[in-house]
Amino acid sequence: MAALSWLLWNRKFETPESELSGSDPYTGIPSTLNRGFVWYIWGIKQWYNSESYNPVTIESVRTDPVICSAASIWGGLPTLELEDVNGQVPDKIMKYIRRISNPTEIS
Interval 63-80: pLDDT, tens: 898 999 999 999 988 888
> Residue 81 gets which letter from DSSP?
-
Q: How many domains does the chain have?
A: 1
Q: Are 2 and 27 in contact (CB under 8 A)?
A: no
Q: Does the pTM of the predicted model rise above 0.75? A: no
The answer to whether position 58 is within a domain reads yes
Q: Write the CA distances from 56 to 8, 21, 67, integer angstroms.
A: 14, 17, 13
The answer to whether position 107 is within a domain reads no
The answer to whether position 90 is within a domain reads yes
Q: How far apart are the C-alpha atoms of 35 and 46, rounded to whole Å?
A: 9
For residue 73, the enclosing domain spans 2-101
The answer to whether position 106 is within a domain reads no
Determine how many CB atoms are found less than 10 A away from the CB of residue 64. 17
| Strands of the chain, DSSP E | none
Q: Of 104, 96, 87, 79, give the one whose Cα is nearest residue 9.
A: 96
> Residue 12 gets which letter from DSSP?
I
Q: Are 8 and 60 in contact (CB under 8 A)?
A: yes
What pLDDT, in 10s, does the model give residues 29-66? 777 888 889 999 999 999 888 877 777 778 888 889 89
Residue 42: per-residue pLDDT = 95
